[in-house]
A and B are shown apart, each in its own frame.
Chain A
Amino acid sequence: MSASQGSTNTNTEPWGSFDDNIIIQGSGSAVIDMENMDDTSGSSFEDMGEIHQRLKEEEEVTAEAAATEEDNGEDGEFLGMKGLKGQLGRQVADEVWQAGKRQASKAFNLYANIDILRPYFDVEPNQVRNRLVESLIPVRMINFPQKVAGELYGPMMLVFTMVAILLHGMKTSGTVIREGTLMGTAIGTCFGYWLGVSSFIYFLAYLCNAQITMLQMLSLLGYGLFGHCMVLFITYNVHFHSLFYILWLVIGGLSTLRMVAVLISRTVGQTPRLILCGTLAALHMLFLLYLHFAYHKMVEGILDTLEGPNIPPIQRVARDVPVVANAVVNATIKSISAVLQSQ
């Protein structure tokens, strides 16, 4: 045992070498506090374990806890001896706390580890922009499996954007949700569609032997919502039915065609291709149709006459919305179209 180590910690043994005694004593006093003497003095393994655990605690805790830990350390600093009454209770409490903390942090690291999702968010802005544009361009080559990017940033942002657009649509159409909230319905609809239809199509793809993973399906459908976002953004503000139908066919159709082409390129056989792509196309186009008409001002009158006596849970009640913005835009478009027609 070398007494010349001083303040450097050359801790080679796992249980904490004898040097630790001198270090713990460190800035102590000339007085030996006989109160803290114990019969288990000197050699025992438990004492070394105590010292080691105490050192480990001092490493792990934060600055505030370190103040109380120093208190404990100073009490038992002389050769690791402990008093009988106070120290024992405190030690037991310490052990329980440490064990609980270890369990909790293990569980947290296992289940709430967001690092699992980190690789799916590793994108650059220009990649996201390119994929957004590509989601409206159907691919030509369907004999060769098309590459699908497996990322989740773009789809998630698109779903949240669609939630925001839906909220706006619900507000301007004066929808009133009785059993629930506007926000909850919007989030439930968008996320439900993205996750639910992805899972369903993935299940069908599994049945039809298509080569696509769940992540790729989520990504594909997520980017397919870009067309929906654009159409809804335009038509919730400019209420022309013919405009909506044209946009529905063109933009909705393009994004559906892209998804369908990618799926066809990854499936073998006519019937599986038909089933898979038919289902996806139907669901995708019908969803856009539903979103437009579910929150539309014109439908309110029909609903009220049809379902007079029994009031359904989702009740649409007309109210005075500040229609200034809508009126201005509609008037502008109408005047422009009138001018164009008169030429």
Chain B
Amino acid sequence: MAEVEESSKPLFAGLSDISISEDIPVEGDISVPVGSQSADNDFSTLDEPVKDTILRDLKAVGQKFVHVMYPKKSSALLRDWDLWGPLLLCVTLALMLQGGSVDSEEDGRPQFAEVFVIIWFGSVIITLNTKLLGGTISFFQSLCVLGYCILPLTVAMIVCRIVLVGGSGLVSFVVRLIVVTASFSWSTFASTAFLADSQPPNRKALVVYPVFLFYFVIGWMILTFSPSH
């Protein structure tokens, strides 16, 4: 009952009567909040040396390469997506596939811009298609997956280049065909392992076909590449 009476009074009503005499020592600890500044240090990576940033990013990219080469059911590729890896792979592939100038005798090889545009616009279109079919994956995650799964095809390109050094007859063609076919099916399988999970089960074929076509075109560009010696 007394508590109710106390709470009905205004809060600082009795304070006007109090005066502090100099006899009473006032001491204690006062803590000022400095929490905001230390939190700032944890989130800001702007002040670290550039080498640290690059190494950290490269490590993340390398980890995702491993995930692509051994496609297990892990969501690491989807969770922290980044576009460095796809850019690296795309530029490497486009540089290796690049043809000479138009006036030289070896015409008809794809130019750098062509390969670059095919890869990126192909990825964008496949992503849009996946989203339109009702997928739950986000735009950049899908771009990330498709870009990283070009890794087997890049490896195949390097192998083809090495094989072509030895000669360009029937045997080398058969070897290149086998290598490119294996790597293109690996790419398709790896990317569908990530992409098709976000689809309703009876529509997986609708998502897989464009991916198959995309990697088929890239694989075919690699296969029909002829050197300019």
Interface residues of chain A, those whose CB is within 8 Å of chain B, are 28-31, 64, 67, 70-71, 74, 114, 117-118, 121-125, 128, 153, 156-157, 160-161, 164, 167-168, 171, 174-176, 178, 181-184, 317, 319-322, 324-325
Contact = CB atoms under 8 A, between A and B. Distances in A.
23 contacts: A30-B31, A31-B32, A70-B36, A70-B39, A71-B36, A114-B132, A117-B132, A121-B129, A123-B206, A124-B202, A125-B206, A128-B206, A153-B133, A156-B129, A164-B220, A167-B217, A182-B108, A182-B110, A183-B114, A183-B117, A183-B118, A317-B107, A324-B170
B84 interface: no
Contacts of A161: 213
A121 B108 contact: no
A125 B226 contact: no
Interface string B112-153: 011001100000010011011110000000000000000000
Contact of A157 (B40, B108, B131, B209): B209
Interface string B153-183: 0000000000000001010010000000000
Given A118-B132, A161-B213, A183-B110, A64 B173 contact: no
Contacts of A30: 30-31
Contact of B33 (A74, A321, A322): A74
B132 A160 contact: no
Given A121-B133, A161-B213, A168-B220, A319 B107 contact: yes
A171 B108 contact: yes
Contact of A29 (B33, B108, B114, B118): B33
Contacts of B33: 28-29, 31, 74
B56 interface: no
Nearest to A179: B102
A125 B205 contact: yes
B111 interface: yes
A47 to B, nearest CB: 21
A29 B31 contact: yes
Given A125-B203, A161-B213, A176-B108, A64 B31 contact: no
B173 to A, nearest CB: 5
Contact of A181 (B36, B114, B132): B114
Secondary structure dominating the interface of B: helix
A300 to B, nearest CB: 13
Given A29-B32, A67-B40, A114-B132, A160 B210 contact: yes
A122 B39 CA distance: 47
A317 B108 CA distance: 9
A176 B117 CA distance: 19
Given A71-B40, A182-B108, A322 B224 contact: yes
| List of 3 A-B pairs having minimum Cβ-Cβ separation, nearest first | A121-B132, A125-B205, A176-B107
B30 A31 contact: yes
Contacts of A157: 209-210, 213
Contacts of A123: 206
A124 B206 CA distance: 8
Contacts of A74: 33, 36
Central interface residue in B36, B111, B205, B226, by most chain A CB within 10 Å:
B36
Interface in B181-219: 202-203, 205-206, 209-210, 213, 216-217
Interface string B78-89: 000000000000
A181 B39 contact: no
